[in-house]
Amino acid sequence: MSKQAIILTVNGVARQALVEPNQTLTSLLRDELGLTGTKHGCGVGDCGCCTVILDGETVNSCLVLAMQAQGREVTTIEGLAKGAELHPLQQAFVDAGAIQCGFCTPGMILSAKALLDHTPQPTREEITKGLSGNLCRCTGYEKIVEAVQDAAGKMSEA
Amino acid sequence: MLLPSFDYYRPQSLPEALSLLGEMGEDARPLAGGTDLLVNLKLKKLAPKVLLDLGGLEELKGNRADDGLVSLGALDTASRLASGGPEVPGLLAMGAGALGSPQVRNRATLGGNLVTARPAADICLPLLALGAKAVLAGPNGEREVALDGYFKGPGYTVKEAGEILTRVILDAPRPGVGGGYQKLGLRQAMEIALVNVAAHLELEDDGKTVALARVALGAVAPFPMLSPGAASALIGKPAQETCFSEAAEAAAAEARPIDDHRGSAAYRRDMVRTLTLRALRQALSQAQGNQEAQA
Ligand SMILES: Cc1cc2nc3c(=O)[nH]c(=O)nc-3n(C[C@H](O)[C@H](O)[C@H](O)COP(=O)(O)OP(=O)(O)OC[C@H]3O[C@@H](n4cnc5c(N)ncnc54)[C@H](O)[C@@H]3O)c2cc1C
Ligand code: FES
Ligand code: FES
């Protein structure tokens, strides 16, 4: 089967791409659309660094076919900042020192965003559950949880 | 990790999907959430020529309640089941909520869980304890199969290659019925259980006597299993610690665990006893709770 054209919305913008049946959504975003904020790690659903938001829900983009994104809406880490102004979660991660190598960060932040979209004032336990599909090998989870708490506070004041 | 090459089809109706599946036979595999299938393709455990995306089939979507029964669509995701709703028994919501991570739950489907049929599958166990039936559609129409008898081995069920699992049918949630779910893993999330137990209790109108009980055990046999001994220790008895302990003993005796790198058989057997007891207590409090709420 040859490449097929698909249309989807990425970070609010309609995009077109030619994709192979065996191409993943990670590969569509990174290789066809140049959005390399989405990381490729384990490839099998364990690490969460490929997390994106698909029609309002987080998914591991390594386990979604590009063709399954036809007609759907994707939010990647590139879609969070408004111009030069970081999203409150991004700012909170920087401020709390919740980023070291940064490889897990896009996925962490998107999981945190999906959590706050549904639960604006999460408990500590809700945060750890909400981030349970994202692994970090450097920072440790303490600062990441602090960053999410901090952002939740700031976002509710705003 | 790369996916091998395959063709991709997205049929728009169940008859179209069944006829494609009929034409292509073993070369084609249905694709639901992909959380098992795409992993197996990447690990080169499977190499189908065609993936048949079920995502467009309305017949497999949505939940319906009718005449004391509910029918749940095979494409229901674990997230959706975990968030409950009037048609979803509490026990099923608990199991679905214990599966994987949020990202996995947002994709993983009920149908995929039943067809993959892992010995510790978090959606299979509650459905088995709830006495659910699977609806299998094939070239010659539909058949209903009770889950007790549906599982044959790890990844192996009575479903034939040309069949698609469309829905499951079970009793609607009602007062005096409760469930308990206990899952033990090495990590708190993202993990197939070391041992898991689903318990279902139905009380008589007196709110004390067990009218019906089923205890399903995971990871202690080649497929999710019911413990008949646990059920008979409970049925007709007053729902309290004495018969819960007997049921837990019976479940531990009937479990057929093996030693592996994650835990020994003896440890697993002990855990079956402990988790069965906890699941029964949880089921009782749920059953009494919703009976009172009704009264
Ligand atoms: C990181 C990770 C963690 C996980 N943790 C757990 C866990 O804790 N507990 C657990 O139980 N599982 C777990 N799983 C396994 C998996 O998520 C579940 O088994 C899930 O329910 C599979 O559903 P799916 O829709 O993704 O199936 P798919 O991968 O799409 O399909 C699985 C199989 O079923 C077939 N199939 C799917 N739907 C149908 C249908 N309607 N009719 C006929 N055939 C069909 C496919 O052809 C394929 O063979 C995990 C997976 C990952 C990647
Ligand atoms: S790369 Fe997708 S979960 Fe690890
Ligand atoms: S900061 Fe390096 S993996 Fe999390």
B32-69 pLDDT tens trace? 999 999 999 999 999 999 999 999 999 999 999 999 99
For residues B264 and A158, what is the distance between their CA atoms, to the nearest angstrom?
53
Range of the structural domain that residue B100 is part of:
58-171
Number of domains in chain A: 2
B2 within a domain of the structure (yes/no): no
Task: Report yes or no: B181 and B294 within 8 Å, Cβ to Cβ.
Answer: no
Q: Which of B31, B55, B102 faces A132 most closely, judged by CB atoms?
A: B102
B237/B282 same-domain check: yes
Are residues A21 and B5, on separate chains, in Cβ contact within 8 Å? yes
What is the per-residue pLDDT for B262?
83
CB of residue A134 inside a 6 A radius of ligand 3:
no
Note whether B75 and B143 are same-domain residues: yes
Sheet holding A13-19, edge to edge: A13-19, A4-10, A73-75, A51-54, A57-60
Q: Are residues B76 and B50 in the same domain?
A: no
**What's the whole-number mean pLDDT along residues B118-143?**
97
Considering the domain architecture, whether residues A74 and A96 belong to the same structural domain is answered as no
Among A79, A107, A133, the domain-final residue is A79
User: Low-confidence residues of chain A, pLDDT below 70?
Assistant: 1
Predicted local confidence at residue A157, as pLDDT: 85
Beta strand A13-19 with A4-10 is antiparallel
Number of domains in chain B: 3
Using an 8 Å CB-CB cutoff, list chain B residues near A62.
1
Q: What is the CATH number of the domain that holds A68?
A: 3.10.20.30
Domain boundary among B133, B152, B171: B171
Q: Are residues B73 and B143 in the same domain?
A: yes
Residues within 8 A of A (CB atoms), B 103-132 only? 103-104, 106-107
The packing angle between helices A141-157 and A105-118, to 10°, is: 40
pLDDT at residue B189, as a whole number: 60
Q: Among B31, B38, B188, which residue's Cα sits nearest to residue B100?
A: B188
B2-30, pLDDT tens digit by residue?
899 999 999 999 999 999 999 998 899 99
Q: How far is CA B15 from the centre of its chain?
A: 26
Which domain does A108 fall in, by range? Answer: 88-157
Residue B295, pLDDT above cutoff 70:
no
pLDDT digits (tens, 9 = 90+) for B204-259: 999 999 999 999 999 999 999 999 999 999 999 999 999 999 999 999 999 999 99
Q: Which residues pair with A6 in a beta bridge?
A: A17
The partner residues of B144 in beta bridges, in order of sequence, read: B135
Say if B292 is an interface residue toward chain A (CB within 8 Å): no
Question: pLDDT tens across B59-86, in order?
Answer: 999 999 999 999 999 999 999 999 998 8
Contact B120, B219 (CB under 8 A): yes
pTM of the model: 0.97
Which CATH number goes with the domain that contains A147?
1.10.150.120
Å from CA of B218 to ligand 2 middle: 27
Pair (B101, B135) in one structural domain? yes
